Amino acid sequence: MFCVRVHGRGGQGGKVSARVLGRAGFLEGLFVQDFPVFGAERRGAPVSDFVRVSEQPILERGYVEEPDAVLVLDETLLGLVDVRAGLKGDGFVLVNSSNKLDGERTFVVDATLAALEAFGKPIPNIALLGAFAKLQKKITLEKIIEATKRELGDKGISSEVIEKNVEAARKCFEAMETQK
């Protein structure tokens, strides 16, 4: 089983990113689980989301305590939340940041900038998933793009904005070439 924990703030699209990852895993032919955990449900409050993908049925429930990957949508959470807690030895942390960060198996990509350049809003979730696609082998960029189109389309988001999100994801995927 491959487990992902997403850390973000309300309004950054953490819940949507988990849904997209879950759907992308399903499109890959895997069993999936994705779910959010809310504390104070308000914009800017720290939130967590979890995704499990497996080639076998998933019987486990509850938080992902030992993730294979951690996605951090907002680097200001690094001082508030121990994002590396329980991270498996060969796991990785992917942070949305314009800064170089220290830490073994820690990768950064400026997903906010990619989103701003693509569609003018600082919503880094789909862009960050592009970089995630480069760092692991379970879910391809193609399935993340397909899942993005379906999930955002189901939310009534215009095809133009969806394509701009896909553009941001591709940009972050390519940006990971130098780090991997």
Q: Tell me the mean pLDDT in the region 79-89.
A: 92
Chain segment 52-79, per-residue pLDDT in tens:
999 999 999 889 999 999 999 999 999 8
- Give this prediction's pTM: 0.93
- Counting DSSP H helices and E strands in the chain, the numbers are 5, 6
Does pLDDT of 39 surpass 90?
no
Does pLDDT of 38 surpass 80?
no
Q: Is 41 exposed, middle or buried (0-12, 13-18, 19+ CB in 10 A)?
A: exposed
The helix (H) or strand (E) run that includes residue 144 is helix 141-154
Q: Based on C-alpha coordinates, what's the Rg of the chain? A: 15
Strand partners, 178: none
Supply the pLDDT for residue 41.
63
Chain segment 150-165, per-residue pLDDT in tens:
999 999 999 999 999 9
Q: Domain with 102 in it: what CATH number? A: 3.40.920.10
- What does the alpha-carbon distance between residue 104 and residue 33 come to, in Å, rounded to a whole number? 28
The helix (H) or strand (E) run that includes residue 107 is strand 106-109
Does pLDDT of 4 surpass 80?
yes
- What does the alpha-carbon distance between residue 163 and residue 97 come to, in Å, rounded to a whole number? 23
* Domain of residue 104, residue span: 2-178
Distance of CA 80 to the CA centre of its chain: 19
Q: How many domains does the chain have?
A: 1
Contact (Cβ atoms closer than 8 angstroms) between residue 14 and residue 6: yes
The helix (H) or strand (E) run that includes residue 17 is helix 14-27
Supply the pLDDT for residue 40.
61
- What does the alpha-carbon distance between residue 13 and residue 74 come to, in Å, rounded to a whole number? 11
Strand partners, 32: 53
